Amino acid sequence: MTTNTLAVKHSSDAKAVAIPAPVTMPVLSGSLESYIQSVREIPVLKKAEEQALAVKLKENNDLEAASKLIMHNLRFVIKVARGYGGYGLPLADLVQEGNVGLMKAVKRFDPAVNVRLVSFAVHWIRAEIHEFILKNWKIVKVATTKAQRKLFFNLRSKKKRLAWMNPDEVADIAKDLGVTSKDVLEMEKRMSGQDIGFDLGSDQDDDDHAYSPSQYLPNDEVDPLQTAETEDWENHTKKLFNEALSTLDDRSKDILASRWLVEEKATLQELADKYEVSAERIRQIENNAIQKLKLAVVE
């Protein structure tokens, strides 16, 4: 990898530290998997490299140095964001918010403190993710005070089992987090509730027992009586069609299936070769079978 050199002063001495060459900033706009793979390819900075970039940013307001500090720590944001996967929010959104926290941390990072950037940035990353979760996890806010926020983000880790907590467990958690037992019970109730989507997901379209709120809204353009009548007529027609189809001989059924019920339709000549007759004879058999089906359905 091509590198450039930056002189960083330590006391009265100056040391040359190799700074990684510029890397293209990954953009979280397409596939999350592609983004994560791109981030993994960006190497982690050594402490001396990180300090050198931080000095450039602090003393010279070097935006390129800030960009490098951000890029080489993006993988840490992903790691933190994964820890909040239990709140039902997209990982991509959590990573996006975490990246905002990382940027704020880089802006405020002081190299003179002599700590790694991730140790300083973790608080800013989590703060942004916390704020995002509180705003989006439920339509109704679940935490409005500092104590409630602390309860919200600690309740799951303190619960020892999936079942509802007993009075002793509620009292212990309330004491540890400095809230009332009522607050603990209310938060547990809210966090145990399930959000219902306004519309069904694509994977639920064929579920006869899945109903979304949107399905209970009235539709002035649909007449229930007309819908029932249409459905009844379709069922009756289908029954007549199947009965008529059962009266056809095997050859006629095969010809109809090969010509109309498969994706790659057979040609008349292909069927003629199969049954050792002329293509014209296949056409006649096909037409006769279709006429029988039409008559059965019309009657």
Compute CA distances 286 → 101, 183, 267, 269, 294, whole Å.
70, 75, 12, 13, 12
- pLDDT, tens only, 69-114: 999 999 999 999 988 877 777 888 899 999 999 999 999 999 888 8
CATH topology of domain 224-298: Arc Repressor Mutant, subunit A (1.10.10)
pLDDT band at 193, cuts 50/70/90?
A: low
Inter-residue contact 211 to 271 (CB < 8 Å): no
pTM: 0.45
For 98, other C-beta atoms within 10 Å of its C-beta total 28
Long-range contacts of 35-40 (CB under 8 A, 24+ apart): 35/92, 35/95, 36/78, 39/74, 39/75, 39/78, 40/75
Q: Is residue 292 very low, low, confident or very high in pLDDT (cuts 50, 70, 90)?
A: confident
> Taking the domains of the chain in order of start, what are their residue ranges?
3-136, 153-192, 224-298
Q: Nearest CA to 86 among 157, 142, 15?
A: 157
> Mapping DSSP to helix (H, G, I), strand (E, B) and coil, where does residue 20 land?
strand
Q: β-strands 3-10, 13-20: how paired? A: antiparallel
Give the tens place of pLDDT for each residue, 163-188. 566 787 778 777 777 777 777 777 76
Instruction: Give the position of tokens 């039902």.
Output: 88
